[in-house]
Amino acid sequence: MNPVLEPLFRTVRATHPKADLRLIERAYDVAAYHHRDQKRKSGDPYITHPLAVATILAELGTDDETLCAALLHDTVEDTAYSLDELRGDFGETIASLVDGVTKLDKVKFGDAAQAETVRKMVVAMSRDIRVLIIKLADRLHNMRTMRYLPEHKRHQKSRETLEIFAPLAHRLGMNTIKWELEDLAFAMLYPKRYDEIARMVSERAPRRDLFLQEVIEKVSGDLREAKIRAVVKGRPKHYYSVYQKMIARDVAFDDIYDLVGIRVLVDSVRDCYAALGTIHARWNPVPGRFKDYIAMPKFNMYQSLHTTVIGPEGKPVELQIRTHAMHHRAEYGVAAHWKYKEEVGAPGPPGKVKPGSDMAWLRQLLDWQKETSDPGEFLESLRFDLSVSEVYVFTPKGQVIALPEGATPVDFAYAVHTEVGHRCIGARVNGRLVPLESRLGNGDTVEIFTSKSPDAGPSRDWLKFVKSGRARNKIRQWFSKERRETAIEAGKEAIGRAMRKQGLPLQRLMSGEALLALARDLRYPDVSALYAAVGEGHVAAQNVVQKLVASIGGVDSAEEDIAETSLPTRLRGRPRGGGGAGVVVAGDADVWVRLSKCCTPVPGDEIVGFVTRGHGVSVHRGDCTNVQQLKAQPDRLVEVSWSPSDDSVFLVAIQVEALDRPRLLSDVTRTLSDQHVNILSASVTTSRDRVAVSKFTFEMGDPKHLGHVLKAVRSIQGVFDVYRVSGAGG
């Protein structure tokens, strides 16, 4: 026997003792011969890939035909070996499996949400489910070795894995494959978020493990007393599922991670219910958290009893109770069919569906596919996951849109495009005109009528019946934006009037960066926010004009071209000499120098000086966006160099990216204060995927201290990236 095959055969003997090892060895020899001159991106011989795919399938307990097809799955596509030769060498079944995988490789997964594409994939898998199982194992090994591909390929494959292959593994009940695919793709797409969750998990592991052990001992003791044979163990946490729950349930990491999960494996269905009674006798169940998937299995054959109880110290404990056969099926899904097929019905060829077996739903799929010419109806039949309350509707061109249950034509319009939603005035469903508040059903074809009027907009009444978060948010945004635009116009007009009264140069004062600098000094994120504040009466227009004139050195300076003045700091008393800024001008140490706020230079940065009129020399970083504009006047550029003194103070702007949680901002600001930096401004935005981006501007005496500051912020729980940015506003 070929020694290379020994690990594979060891697994096959354990999971499928009756497999034909000689056939598998012959398939390996043929594949190795035809791939002999090929290498993978890693430099390894190509045959290592089919061998790894076959090993993954052997661990799932698949039959010898599937293993042979796995070893040969790339030969027809990538070598001179033809399908007819393969059919002659290994028979019709293995040839059709290899052909199925080859065809599945050609399906473009980019538009898998489309009914027709989903259809092709299901046709391929329902002729013989093993085709899809080989494809999933193929993708899993590719994800494990993804680091050798260029970055754009890694991202594309990882996104495909999250959006197509992991959900397919879930539909087939193959949870071990699904979890590994998700974690590998998550680590590839969002490495910093992945590392931060891994760090938070490892920090809490010892404390959580002690509590877990206590619960396991109590449950095991109770079951022993009740004379129920059981294996009780903790349930592993997967990083991607932790992250998904943070987004979906909108809760903090601690609330998810501290929720302890226990799995109880027993011998029979009767023991499942007996174990449930024993556990509920010790701890009170949480109302509404009991689910019986044994009496009513999930779409993918999953069976289990789920309950949540209030355990020791008042902490909730999640329990899953199932038999060993159910557990194997929950882990390996349809792949477990071969291992346990003797339990579920009459013998028959593996992979082909037997009526009455737990695979009967595959037979149904094939029947639906034959009977249904309407892709919408087929897609509805395909929608296995009964726990997700969604409706699937079609655009007039046949594109599928998924909406929450109870959705209306307005939800559909916003799902197509924001502007379609805003301009929606009517709808036709399945060819009939309907009111905008009518509910959509599965397979409906929806056509939206839009207004061409420039003043068209949504109605406030829509908020009473729309069901999707997107539609609700977009309608609210439209109304707040409309009010805001009115306030901005009013504020701009008020500032213009105040300037005209004083005879100031309106064009110059209201353009350039002076206005942006003033907005930042008054703690507004941008000029529009400043205009809105004036329009809403929060700030007086006269006050803004006075500050604007003062900030650029009085009325005389206002006559100059102010595009070059960068973002001036507020003047406090007399201007400082050059030494206070820590910069000296070549040939003249007495010139007043100030550090520009648009790029916040600190010692160590390459810098250039620009002679402003009535405002000394402004110092910019060499890579500042405004330097290109200043170079248009080379006669005003001067050579400057760093010469910091003990009383020099520098502005620094940093950006902090973190997984959002309560008290995150207070933890960051406290850490910055502990590092003895004076925070001047802070802003925080949080995205839908639970990532908080914070920007801080602060003063520092010694820029070398910045490394310590960044390190301290990086150690805060949830923070996965922190770095200096070029300027107070990023």
3-class SS at 425?
strand
Say if residue 598 is exposed, middle or buried (CB neighbours under 10 Å; 0-12, 13-18, 19+).
buried
Q: Would you give the distance in Å from CA 715 to the centre of its chain?
A: 22
Element of type H or E holding 484: helix 469-502
Task: Please state, in angstroms and rounded to a whole number, the distance separating the CA atoms of residues 318 and 245.
Answer: 15
Task: Please state, in angstroms and rounded to a whole number, the distance separating the CA atoms of residues 21 and 68.
Answer: 10
Task: Judge contact between 680 and 704, C-beta under 8 A.
Answer: no
C-alpha distances (whole Å) from 153 to each of 78, 141, 142, 146, 608 are 19, 15, 12, 9, 41
Task: Please state, in angstroms and rounded to a whole number, the distance separating the CA atoms of residues 64 and 86.
Answer: 16
Q: Which of 494, 493, 491 is nearest to 531 (CA)?
A: 491
Q: Which residues contact residue 251 at a Cβ distance below 8 angstroms, ignoring those fewer than 6 apart?
A: 245
- How many beta carbons lie within 10 A of that of residue 464, not counting itself? 8
Residue 560 designated active-site: no
> Which ranges constitute the DSSP H helices of 226-323?
239-248, 253-257, 269-282
Task: Judge contact between 384 and 171, C-beta under 8 A.
Answer: yes
Q: Which of 193, 143, 197 is nearest to 165 (CA)?
A: 143
Q: Which of 694, 117, 616 is nearest to 382 (CA)?
A: 117
Q: Which of 20, 59, 77, 214 is catalytic?
A: 77
Q: Which of 49, 143, 137, 144 is nearest to 101 (CA)?
A: 137
Task: Judge contact between 163 and 112, C-beta under 8 A.
Answer: yes
Task: Please state, in angstroms and rounded to a whole number, the distance separating the CA atoms of residues 354 and 609.
Answer: 82
- Describe the chain by its helix, strand, coil percentages, rounded to 5: 50, 15, 30
Task: Please state, in angstroms and rounded to a whole number, the distance separating the CA atoms of residues 160 and 480.
Answer: 37
- How many beta carbons lie within 10 A of that of residue 151, not counting itself? 8
Say if residue 204 is exposed, middle or buried (CB neighbours under 10 Å; 0-12, 13-18, 19+).
middle
Q: Which residues contact residue 477 at a Cβ distance below 8 angstroms, ignoring those fewer than 6 apart?
A: none
Kind of pairing, strands 637-638 and 446-450? unpaired
Task: Judge contact between 140 and 180, C-beta under 8 A.
Answer: yes
Q: Which of 414, 412, 407 is nearest to 474 (CA)?
A: 414
3-class SS at 654?
strand
Q: Which of 78, 437, 623, 647 is catalytic?
A: 78
Give the phi and the psi of residue 553 in degrees, each rounded to 5: 90, 30
Residue 78 designated active-site: yes
Q: Which residues contact residue 357 at a Cβ distance below 8 angstroms, ignoring those fewer than 6 apart?
A: 337, 341, 344, 345
Task: Please state, in angstroms and rounded to a whole number, the distance separating the CA atoms of residues 55 and 61.
Answer: 10
**DSSP bridge pairs for 574:** none
Pairs from 671-676 (Cβ < 8 Å, separation ≥ 24): 671/712, 671/713, 671/716, 672/696, 672/698, 672/709, 672/713, 674/712, 675/705, 675/708, 675/709, 675/712
Inter-helix orientation angle 514-521/541-551, to 10°: 120
Task: Judge contact between 549 and 516, C-beta under 8 A.
Answer: no
**DSSP bridge pairs for 263:** 233, 320
Task: Please state, in angstroms and rounded to a whole number, the distance separating the CA atoms of residues 144 and 180.
Answer: 9
Residue type, 303: Q
Q: Which are the catalytic amino acids?
A: 77-78
